[in-house]
Structures are given as C-alpha cells and as structure tokens.
Amino acid sequence: MAKSERSKYQTGVISRYYDHLDTIMLQKLGELVTELYLADTPARQNQLWQRAQRTMLKLKLPPAIIEHIMEKRSAEILAKNLQDWLANKKKK
C-alpha cells in the first residue's frame, strides 16, 4: 500500500485554507487598496492593479463589476466595493 503524501494535520490545514479562501482574498484586496494609495510610480500602480484584478477574479465577482473597477482604476471605487463585499460577508 502506498504511503499518504500528506499527514492528517496537513490535510486539515489545506482544507481550512480553501474553506476560508474568500475571506483571505478579501483581506488581500484590502491590503492592495492600501498599497494603491501609497504607490508612487505608474509602473507600481499597474502592477498592483493587475494583482487586484487577479484577486477579484479568484473571488468570482461579476465580470461587469471587475470591468468597471479596472476601467476607472480608482482606489476609492475599489475601497467602496470592498466595504460592501466585507459587509455582505459578515451577514452570511
């Protein structure tokens, strides 16, 4: 019989990570908002917006919302939407 690649503990850690992936992604998005406010060069801003877009895609947000945010590239709009998403998450 082949030996399991992961221990029971490791399997549990991985399972809990995926159970809370949406919370982790929302937290990451919040950190990106802060970084966007502090970004001092256009190159850094572009890099951060690309990360924000990937994060929003992982959250499986509606494409129209992602498109709107990416079109405007406004940290304020992203922050406002993030507040709404966090509020909805707490209600669940």
In a domain, 55, yes or no: yes
Asked if the structure places residue 3 within a domain, the reply is: no
User: Which residues form the domain of 40?
Assistant: 22-91
Neighbours of 7 (CB within 10 A): 9
- Decide if 6 is inside a domain: no
73: left (phi over 0), alpha (psi -120 to 50) or beta: left
List, for residues 4-39, the tens digit of each pLDDT value.
799 999 999 999 999 999 999 999 999 999 999 999
Domain count, the chain: 1
Q: pTM score, two decimals?
A: 0.84
In a domain, 65, yes or no: yes
Is 2 within a domain?
no
Is position 17 within any domain? Answer: no
Residue 85's closest CA among 23, 17, 8?
Answer: 23
Domain membership of residue 8 (yes or no) is no
Whether 35 is covered by a domain: the verdict is yes
